Structure 1
Amino acid sequence: MAPPPPPRSVRFVSDCFVKPPQLPPQSDHPLHLPPWDLAMLSVHYIQKGLLFPLPPSCLDPGFDRPAFIHSFLGKLKRSLSSALFHFYPLAGRLATLKRPDPPFYTVFVDCANSPGARFIHATVDMTVANILSPTYVPAVVLSLFDHDRAINHDGHALSLLSVQVTELADGVFIGLSMNHVVGDGLSFWLFFNSWSEIFQAQEKGAIDVVQLSHPPVLTRWFPESHPGPLSLPYTDDPSSFLARYEAPELRERVFHFSADTIAGLKAEANRQCGIPNISSFQSLTALVWRCITRARRFPPSQVTGCRMAANNRARLDPPLSPEYFGNSITPLRTATTVDELLGGDLGWAARLLHTAVAEHSDAKLREWNQEWIKRPQVYHLDKTFDPYSIMMGSSPRFNKYGNEFGLGKAVALRSGYAHKFDGKVSGYPGREGGGSIDLEICLPPATMALLEADTEFMAAVTVS
């Protein structure tokens, strides 16, 4: 699938493919995928990126900017190649294995027969302030990522990882697009963190292949009764199970919540519940769910839901490694009526969310996998996420601002077109750390205006 052309303000300078310096022997074998991976075939790539200002010296009139950028891009490619040695599936492509008798159809990662990960150099006639100053995230940000609107099944032809480095007048944006079949958000940031670690080690004189402090665990987890490969009930025509999603008109805004505000929400939710174990993020999620629901002005009897992306690694028995590279997430859904949600207090809503998380057990995870194997299906954005709910994605626990590429700490995190729909909320750590949180919220213009007029919500937001 050819992506739509980028806005005219973005100019592509060059692109190439980057491969690891060598591949391990196991790369010759298909990397078969368990249910949590295969369920992602029809949703988007993960698209997240970091905005870095250039050092002041780079802006001096006599500075050799082209030489600096050429050297910077070379270092990025060298460290990316080394990172792909550890994360070699990202240099591969998806492939489908079909047999007529007995019927068999499965998608796997071919780690060897591929040109590698894509690396793009682009420029845009904008400043860092042009990206950060507007109240709403400007549309040009979507063009700072490759694989725009691609779904994961497109990874048969498209690279599973694409890096787009876009020069601004006074900064650099590094945008990564990673196939969601290959890994979830934790896996995405494990790769980003590892790439940064390698870049910094090579700056200090390390050899091409750097030993990582947190190497990925690439062996996929399968239910013991079905070790794989898993057959999908599909035909030769992928359209029988795939669907393209086009987002409606949305406004996207990043709201900041200070560490003090988060602590206050947590204390209030626990006080109202009479229990001490409501988490900070459950308290913030409860606030957002209530306020967005109020802004939507649904009738009192309407059922509204809140989904949270739950990391399953520690919930399995025995648990998976924190460095498990793959998908190990479940969208937990809590539901109630609008009348009950808005009639209760913050603690009432937070307790509903806490109960859903507390009940998310090894037994439930294994039951989900067994049911999926009996009746395989893939997520469709327009069906999995209904317009009466919100979805809390990503996580403020991921190490997002620890990634440095010789330019210091990033000033902001932004995302691409992927997984944007009415009610999508993504949680990021605040740049200052300490427990602060940024929420990227996507809503139709009229709903966003009502949320911005909500006194309970805006009282919690720190306006810069």
Structure 2
Amino acid sequence: MNPKTVKHISEFFVKPQYVSEEMKQPIYLTPWDLAMLSVHYIQKGLLYTKPAVDDQEEFINTLLDRLKQSLSLTLVHFYPLAGRFKTVKSEDTKSCLVFVDLNDSPGAKLIHASLDLTVSDIVSPTYVPLVVQSLFDHDRAINHDGHTSPLVTIQVTDLADGIFIGCSMNHVLGDGTSYWNFFQAYSETFQALGSSSTTSMVSRPPIVKRWFPDGHDPIINLPFTHQEEFLSRYEAPELLERYFHFTAESVAKLKARANSESKTSKISSFQALSALVWRSISRARRFPNDQMTSTKLATDNRLRLKPPLSQDYFGNSIQTVRGVATAGELLEHDLGWAAWKLHEAVVNHNDKTVREFLESWRQSPMIYQLGQFFLPENVMIGSSPRFNKYGIEFGLGKAVTLRSGYAHKFDGKVSSYPGHEGGGSVDLEVCLPPQSMHALESDEEFMSAAS
């Protein structure tokens, strides 16, 4: 039997409802933004149960019309997403300037697709079906492709009994905080359509103006003249992708255990859970005792800066912090020891280290390369259970679950999401090669905490 495939039915380009003179100006990018040029788009989406209605075709057409209208309104606030990248090269200085430009851009994209599968077909298998990767635009695209591709695409896939709304956003334009702020604003605008005021649809308007440290020129010329000097394509190895659920009670027990073992009260719930993941995946990989391992945590810089950046800042403001230990050290010590390593990495990341990174980057610009940034002895924990992902409803009620695309999947990638029931529960999306995944599933410490 042929595997089910996603069929594209139609696509539309959507521009902001209006374009002001300010929107027509070039948007210059920060070091945090430019460093993302060679990595993937952010691809996340929500799966909803389809309402029981008599006329399904009318329901879908109405949904698409409202999604188009609300996207146009939302883009007035998040207008960089309606643009394209442009590059100006200088042969004299052997450099190039990459920026966002709205002029002549067709806008964001909205795709209508269908898939002859049920909600159960997506959520019931132990491992995420590969077809989920087709629920998103920009499959395997890198951010630099935003010169010719949309900077954001909304793909609406009609299932037999469900609707999947997938959003793929260019990572140069924003980090996870920015991504979920946009998605949330889009849902708010959708649900407010028809109200008397269009100005109050977005409860938290974004701060679009890019932040640069005092004295830093916002025009950054990269020391490259050819794409091959700073771009690379990444192909993931064979991976299994599985969701593990941790109840609020289980997370609380991990936190209490880690703090007790470290004789402290400073270790957070997420640091304790991350330590469990670090220990368990390292054990599943069956490393020799002298193998160096690390766990990296994606870390928001906004509140670490002095003065702090607003949580509504639309752009990138993230770096990674990491704990490092040999496999032997990690497994000879207890959970609290590993959690304290991560705690120290987090608390030592402050205004000084953030500004030192930016200064160093300006002296020697560096573009992240997926194939070099993520190594098979590492664990990388991204996203965050703090984002209000299940508050995004588009008039369809609370989503059944969340899924992600092909982007940023590699051996040891873990994404953290709020559990469906909320209250401090966490879902972890874990990507590992088959042998390591099966070993993790047999790991008593890990599986006794997961459900």
Per the TM superposition, whether the score is higher than 0.5 is yes
Match of 1:27 among 23, 28, 40: 23
Q: Is the 8 A contact 2:188 2:201 kept in 1?
A: no
Q: Is the 8 A contact 2:4 2:116 kept in 1?
A: no
Aligned partner of 1:14 in structure 2 is 10
Q: How does 1:324-335 map to 2 (within 5 A)?
A: 324-335=313-324
Q: Distance in 1 between matches of 2:45 and 2:115?
A: 15
What percent identity do the matched residue pairs reach?
58
State the Cα distance separating 1:99 from its structure 2 match.
2.6
Task: Give the secondary-structure state (helix, strand or coil) at the position aligned to 1:37.
Answer: helix
Sort the Cα spacing of 1:206 and 1:14 in 2 relative to 1 into closer, same or farther, 3 A: farther
State the Cα distance separating 1:102 from its structure 2 match.
4.3
Aligned partner of 2:175 in structure 1 is 184
State the Cα distance separating 1:350 from its structure 2 match.
0.3
Q: Is the 8 A contact 1:85 1:209 kept in 2?
A: no
Q: Distance in 2 between matches of 1:148 and 1:454?
A: 33
Aligned partner of 2:411 in structure 1 is 422
Partner deviation per Cα, 1:374-398 (whole Å, 9 max, x = no partner): 1101001111111101000000000
Aligned partner of 1:219 in structure 2 is 209
State the Cα distance separating 1:211 from its structure 2 match.
4.2
Q: Distance in 1 between matches of 2:118 and 2:200?
A: 34
Q: Distance in 1 between matches of 2:22 and 2:327?
A: 52
Backbone CA RMSD of aligned residues: 1.1
State the Cα distance separating 1:210 from its structure 2 match.
4.3
Larger mean CA deviation between 73-82 and 94-103 belongs to 94-103
Aligned partner of 2:281 in structure 1 is 292
Q: How does 1:112-127 map to 2 (within 5 A)?
A: 112-127=103-118
AA in 1 matched with 2:135: L
AA in 1 matched with 2:224: Y
Q: Distance in 2 between matches of 1:212 and 1:65?
A: 29
Aligned partner of 2:265 in structure 1 is 276
Q: Distance in 1 between matches of 2:355 and 2:384?
A: 24
Count, aligned residues = 449
Q: Distance in 2 between matches of 1:113 and 1:232?
A: 24
Aligned partner of 2:147 in structure 1 is 156
Q: Distance in 2 between matches of 1:47 and 1:281?
A: 23
Q: Distance in 2 between matches of 1:418 and 1:232?
A: 25
Q: Distance in 2 between matches of 1:326 and 1:206?
A: 30
Aligned partner of 2:35 in structure 1 is 39
Match of 1:142 among 133, 137, 147: 133
Q: Is the 8 A contact 1:44 1:151 kept in 2?
A: yes
State the Cα distance separating 1:207 from its structure 2 match.
4.9
State the Cα distance separating 1:225 from its structure 2 match.
2.9
Sort the Cα spacing of 1:207 and 1:14 in 2 relative to 1 into closer, same or farther, 3 A: farther
AA in 2 matched with 1:17: F
Match of 1:74 among 48, 51, 65: 65
Q: How does 1:34-433 map to 2 (within 5 A)?
A: 34-55=30-51, 57-58=52-53, 63-202=54-193, 205-208=195-198, 210-235=200-225, 237-433=226-422
Q: Distance in 2 between matches of 1:100 and 1:149?
A: 30
Task: Give the secondary-structure state (helix, strand or coil) at the position aligned to 2:380.
Answer: strand
1:441 aligns with 2:430: yes
Q: Is the 8 A contact 2:44 2:167 kept in 1?
A: yes
State the Cα distance separating 1:9 from its structure 2 match.
1.8
Q: Is the 8 A contact 1:78 1:208 kept in 2?
A: no
Task: Give the secondary-structure state (helix, strand or coil) at the position aligned to 1:140.
Answer: helix
State the Cα distance separating 1:333 from its structure 2 match.
1.9
Task: Give the secondary-structure state (helix, strand or coil) at the position aligned to 1:332.
Answer: strand
Task: Give the secondary-structure state (helix, strand or coil) at the position aligned to 1:401.
Answer: helix
State the Cα distance separating 1:209 from its structure 2 match.
5.0
Q: Distance in 2 between matches of 1:100 and 1:75?
A: 47
Task: Give the secondary-structure state (helix, strand or coil) at the position aligned to 1:50.
Answer: strand
Q: Distance in 1 between matches of 2:357 and 2:40?
A: 22
Task: Give the secondary-structure state (helix, strand or coil) at the position aligned to 1:146.
Answer: coil
State the Cα distance separating 1:24 from its structure 2 match.
2.3
AA in 2 matched with 1:179: N
Displaced runs of 4 or more, over 6 A: none
Q: Distance in 2 between matches of 1:422 and 1:445?
A: 10
